[in-house]
A = this chain, B = another copy of it.
C-alpha cells in the first residue's frame, strides 16, 4: 500500500478537499463527506492520504507554494522602484487570495489543526513568503516611501491584506488592483 505520492489525481482530490474545508471547517468535514465529494468511498480515501490531517497539510502546502511562486514571478516582472514593488506584492497577494481562495482560507482558519510536524514544515514555507514581504518593505523604508518599524509595518500590511478574505466580494465593483492601489496610497507618505 503506497500512501505518499504526488500523483495528479491527488492534486485534484486536494482541491476538492479545500472546497469542503472552507464550507464546513476541518473538524466538521468527515472523511465520508470528503470521499463523496471525490466520488469514491471513504475507505478508498486512505489509499491517497495517510490520514485526515495529511489532507489538510496537502491543501495548505499547495496554496502556500502557489503564493510563493506567484510572488517571486511578480517581483521579477515589475518595475524596480520601491513603490512599484510594493504595489506588485500587494496585488499578487490579493490575486492569490482570490484565485486560490479556498486553500488560503483553510490556511488562515485551520492552521492550528495541523500536527506539530506538518506545522513545522509549512511554517518554513510561510517564512520564505514573509521574507519576500520584508525585503520589499525594507526597500520602501529605505526609499522614504513609508516610515516606522519594519516588523510592525510588515505585520500591519499583511493583516490588512489577509483580512480581505473576510469581506471582499469578487463580484463587487472593486478589483484586486483597486485594493492594492488604495492600500499603498494609505500607507505611503507621499502624494500618489
- Is there an interface contact between A156 and B27, defined as CB atoms closer than 8 Å? no
Query: A74 an interface residue at 8 Å Cβ cutoff?
Result: no
- Is there an interface contact between A155 and B147, defined as CB atoms closer than 8 Å? no
The interface bits of chain A over 140-156 (1 if a CB of B lies within 8 angstroms of the residue's CB, else 0) are: 00000011110011011
**Complex CA–CA separation, A27 to B24 (angstroms):** 11
Flag the segment in A40-48, A49-57, A59-67, A161-169 that touches B: A161-169
| Contact partners of A113 in chain B: CB under 8 A | 25
- Is there an interface contact between A162 and B159, defined as CB atoms closer than 8 Å? yes
- Is there an interface contact between B152 and A159, defined as CB atoms closer than 8 Å? no
A155-B164, A159-B159, A162-B159 are contacts. A182–B27 as well, Cβ < 8 Å? Answer: no
CB distance from A155 to the nearest CB of B (A): 6
| Contact partners of A148 in chain B: CB under 8 A | 182, 185-186
A159-B164, A163-B159 are contacts. A186–B27 as well, Cβ < 8 Å? Answer: no
Q: Which residue of B lies closest to A154 (CB)?
A: B167
- Is there an interface contact between A179 and B163, defined as CB atoms closer than 8 Å? no
| Contact partners of A25 in chain B: CB under 8 A | 27, 112-113
Q: Which residue of B lies closest to A23 (CB)?
A: B112
Task: Tell me which of B28, B109, B155, B167 contacts A155 (CB under 8 A).
Answer: B167
Q: A residues engaging B (CB < 8 A)?
A: 25, 27-28, 109, 112-113, 146-149, 152-153, 155-164, 166-167, 174, 179, 182-183, 185-187, 189
**Which 8 pairs from chain A and chain B are nearest by CB?**
A159-B163, A27-B27, A156-B160, A159-B160, A160-B160, A152-B182, A159-B159, A186-B187
